[in-house]
Amino acid sequence: MSSYLKVSGTKVVDGDGKEVVLRGAGLGGWMNMENFISGYPGCEFQIRTALAEVVGPIKSEFFFDKFLEYFFQEEDAKFFKSLGLNCIRLPFNYRHFEDDLNPLVLKEEGFKHLDRVIDLCAQQGIYTILDLHAAAGGQNTDWHCDAGTHIANFWLHKDFQDRTIWLWKELAKHYANNKWIAGYNPLNEPADPTHTAVIKFYDQVHDTIRSVDTEHVIFSDGNTFASDFSHFGDMHKKWQNTAYSIHDYSGYGFPASPEDYVSSDEQRRRMKNSYKRKREWMDQHGLCVWNGEWGPVYARKQYDGLATDDINERRYKVLKDQLAIYNQDRLSWSIWLYKDIGFQGMVYVSQETSYTVLLKDFLAKKHRLAVDAWGADTAQVQHIYQPLINHITKEIPQENQNLYPFPVWKLSDRVGRLSRSILVTEYLVKEWAEHFRGKSEAELDEIAKSFKFENCLHRDGLNKILMDNAQTRSSS
């Protein structure tokens, strides 16, 4: 690799000025674990604490280190490259690099697996984008901030922001000379209710990164879960070598879809309009757009039975229609996600592995209780929560019902997050950890090996569609 990638107008280009369209996936659930990806309840910090209590801190640390080791290895990188994909987004949690009780002290061991995977990808000619998915205090209202609350405290405490800016300086110093890194994604899906603090933060983190690294692209998410750039104004004139990231999930690709997706003219029109609204500010100013997350979730036979194949064919229609829109714009994108236990990943852990066998009944219970917010199917529990929704709707004036981050969170979403995804999950954390009681290091190693590429199945329908759309001919 002889040169860094750069932003030139609406494009990402190499050192010769040749367009590079970045297409790939996010390695979600790895250095920022997520409940629906690997099957635990609640937040990562909760299960790490619970597992240490059950098996002891040494065995717990051993298990999680092995999980990180096996989750992405050379075989994964080779498979990814074989599909024609050229970029992996690497979400990570600030806790790998800093402790809350020892702030502003860099944990060098945090680089161990991140460096390893960046190098594996480089060996296959795959670019990487570093994504701070969980910042201190929580930059948005959801579980993937690993904050355990629905309040985005990142925006309420200067300390959290200062620590994040410090961390990005350390990261940029460490990776400044690595040309296989396409760039830095400083904050995943910010949800700043003022819409102005996020601009100030981006300005500070831009200047901090540029003080030690003038070369790498900065990929900045829009506010409110990477959907809103309406308050960004003219800041793009100051921010050099910057692309702007939308997250373009379509509601048609989820269990809560308002109707079956049949690829009608009206459905495709709505899908395109939603996408165009998200990138409107960039198009007005001739700026570079990157779609940092998108993609449907998929039905599973153990939960959806005979309807599984029909549901998934509809989801593939959503996928194809989104890609048709993106191809018109030669859009760079990173689908969510590469690997999981069977809900959304390009590859997913087999039901025959020691991990899924160990947790089979627990995973079924978690699905029935709809405690994971992502793609939740509330059919078996809606009768429990609907009276609370009705109660709030009746007692609270309409004008006070749409609390931020509305419309991304509607009233029913807020009730679900607080009651199912925060409250009920607290009572499931210990139950998850108890499955590991009495396990030896050898047994824990075998459980972690469940996430190795050789123990995963491939979602062939998804991968074929991605392969068919991976390559966009470069233009000068």
Catalytic sites, residue numbers: 189, 293
Instruction: Report which secondary-structure segment, H or E, holds 64.
Output: helix 57-71
Query: For residue 162, what are the CA distances in angstroms to 60, 157, 168, 298?
Result: 31, 9, 10, 39
Ramachandran quadrant class, 375 (left: phi over 0; alpha: psi -120 to 50; beta: rest): left
Q: Which residue type sits at 297?
A: V
Listed in sequence order, the DSSP H helices in 252-342 are 265-278, 280-285, 301-304, 308-328
Which residue is associated with the tokens 């090996």? 449
**How far does Cα 12 stand from its chain's mean position?**
22
DSSP string covering 443-465, please? Answer: HHHHHHGGGSGGGEEE-HHHHHH
What span, in angstroms and rounded, lies between the C-alpha atoms of 305 and 47? 30
N residues, the chain: 476
167 within 8 A of 108, measured Cβ to Cβ: no
Alpha carbon distance 70, 450 (integer Å) = 8
Ranges assigned E (strand) in 166-254 = 181-185, 217-221, 242-247
